[in-house]
């Protein structure tokens, strides 16, 4: 016979409920905003990634089902490996469709800003949104949102992704069942890409309860993983080979590495936007490695793009704020430098030197 304590534990286990991370007041505020709006524009950050597009299209699906007129506007190009998502072809690219974007923004009574925390992160589109008179809300998981620009902010930096936050919001609103199959696919893709397919930032057990809910909607996560991960050209694979064989500078005593890739080298591999995606993670496969830095010369503007990745407690965001005019998350951050590649490499070596105590430990 089981004792009372065992029965209790069993009873608790049978209750599949997410810990509530969104307060009743916040739920009520969002509900009120969603009920009263009619024309909604959803925007996400520049150079959108899987989480930006996934959370935007996930929320778009939901609001459409609630009978709203919804559009998604992104600042610029988003990668080909996300184009399989339902209605990805309806996404409006601000850079190329400015007059359409402005007319939708002018008509909107609600603008939902997803997966960024500051209007400056979305360049000219941010300026356009700043001028609109309608309500603006932010749903995001980046640190320190700019509070002055929004009527309502739902910010949860501790969460894996904005897609997770969108799911939690709908769950807290009691609207989980309204989620469509396509929305489930979108939100899964966002959570998967922001956690490196659940290899970092993903120890919250709730995350897997959410995935389980999405799987119940019928999504094929293996297929989604393949659509995202196995979508590259032979050139991209050869570029990876080149970077790792020819370009990687390893500092064994610092448990760190850096590689710098110039425009001419990218051209040699018929570079397309997105081809460098994720390569910065690879040096972290070296035993004991703590930090990986990638410097890439932009193919359009005269600047160097910096990406950094770390493990455990090494703060990439602080490193990037200090040396690369940037910021981000603790284990993944970036920035830009307006200088030559040689100067950028010098700055990076100084940054490594400055952080050598933490890196050596």
C-alpha to C-alpha distance for 288 and 132, rounded to whole angstroms: 50
∠ at Cα 167 (161, 170), nearest 5°? Answer: 140
Q: Which is nearer to Mn ion, 139 or 261 (CB)?
A: 139
Q: How far is the CB of 202 from Mn ion (least distance, A)?
A: 13
Q: How big is the chain by its Cα radius of gyration, in Å?
A: 21
Q: How far is the CB of 163 from Mn ion (least distance, A)?
A: 8
Q: How far is the CB of 350 from Mn ion (least distance, A)?
A: 30
* Token representation of residue 284: 């972290």
Partner residues linked to 308 by β-bridges = 293, 333
Q: Which is nearer to Mn ion, 143 or 240 (CB)?
A: 143
Q: How far is the CB of 142 from Mn ion (least distance, A)?
A: 7
Q: Which is nearer to Mn ion, 192 or 344 (CB)?
A: 192
For the sheet containing 332-337, what is the strand order? 249-251, 256-261, 291-297, 304-310, 332-337, 327-328
Q: Which is nearer to Mn ion, 74 or 359 (CB)?
A: 74
Q: Which is nearer to Mn ion, 145 or 348 (CB)?
A: 145
Beta strands in the chain (DSSP E): 39-44, 69-74, 92-93, 110-114, 135-140, 152-155, 249-251, 256-261, 291-297, 304-310, 327-328, 332-337
Q: How far is the CB of 69 from Mn ion (least distance, A)?
A: 26
Q: Which is nearer to Mn ion, 27 or 53 (CB)?
A: 53
Give the nearest residue (CB) to Mn ion: 51
| List of residues contacting Mn ion (CB under 5 A) | 51, 115, 161-162, 194
Q: DSSP assignment of 215-277, as one string?
A: HHTT--HHHHHHHHHS---HHHHHHHHHIIIII-EEEGGGTEEEEEE-HHHHHHTT--TTTTT
Q: How far is the CB of 166 from Mn ion (least distance, A)?
A: 11
Q: Which is nearer to Mn ion, 146 or 265 (CB)?
A: 146
Is residue 295 within 8 A of residue 305, CB to CB? The reply is yes
Phi, psi of 162 (to 5 degrees): -65, -30
- Measured CA to CA in angstroms, residue 261 lies from 74, 231, 279, 305, 327 at distances of 27, 22, 11, 10, 21
Q: How far is the CB of 324 from Mn ion (least distance, A)?
A: 19
Q: How far is the CB of 113 from Mn ion (least distance, A)?
A: 13
Q: DSSP assignment of 149-168, as one string?
A: G-SEEEE-TTSS-HHHHHHH
Q: Which is nearer to Mn ion, 195 or 257 (CB)?
A: 195
């Amino acid at each position: 016979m089981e004792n009372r304590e065992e029965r209790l534990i069993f009873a608790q286990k049978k209750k599949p409920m997410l810990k509530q991370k969104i307060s009743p007041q916040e739920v009520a505020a969002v509900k009120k905003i969603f009920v009263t709006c009619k024309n909604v524009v959803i925007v996400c950050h520049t150079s959108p990634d899987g989480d930006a597009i996934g959370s935007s299209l996930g929320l778009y699906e939901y609001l459409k089902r609630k009978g709203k007129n919804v559009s998604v506007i992104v600042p610029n190009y988003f990668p080909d490996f996300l184009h399989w998502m339902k209605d990805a072809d309806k996404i409006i690219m601000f850079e190329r469709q400015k007059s359409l974007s402005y007319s939708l923004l002018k008509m909107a009574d609600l603008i939902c800003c997803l997966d960024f925390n500051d209007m400056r992160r979305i360049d000219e589109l941010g300026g356009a949104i700043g001028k609109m008179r309608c309500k603006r809300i932010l749903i995001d998981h980046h640190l320190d949102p700019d509070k002055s620009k929004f009527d309502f902010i739902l910010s949860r930096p501790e969460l894996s992704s904005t897609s997770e936050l969108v799911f939690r919001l709908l769950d807290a609103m009691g609207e989980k069942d309204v989620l469509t199959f396509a929305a489930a696919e979108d939100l899964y893709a966002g959570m998967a890409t922001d956690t490196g397919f659940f290899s970092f930032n993903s120890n919250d057990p709730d995350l897997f309860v959410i995935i389980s809910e999405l799987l119940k909607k019928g999504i094929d996560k293996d297929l989604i993983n393949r659509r995202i991960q196995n979508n590259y050209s032979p050139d991209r694979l050869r570029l990876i080979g080149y970077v790792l064989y020819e370009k990687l500078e390893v500092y064994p005593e610092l448990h760190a590495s850096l590689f710098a890739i110039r425009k001419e080298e990218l051209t040699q591999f018929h570079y397309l936007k997105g081809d460098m995606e994720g390569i910065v993670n690879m040096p972290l496969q070296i035993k004991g490695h703590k930090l990986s830095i990638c410097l890439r010369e932009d193919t359009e503007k005269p600047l160097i793009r910096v990406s950094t990745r770390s493990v455990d407690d090494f703060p990439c965001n602080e490193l990037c704020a200090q040396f690369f005019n940037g910021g981000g998350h603790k284990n993944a951050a970036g920035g830009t430098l307006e200088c030559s590649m040689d100067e950028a490499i010098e700055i990076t070596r100084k940054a490594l030197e400055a952080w050598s105590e933490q890196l050596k430990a």
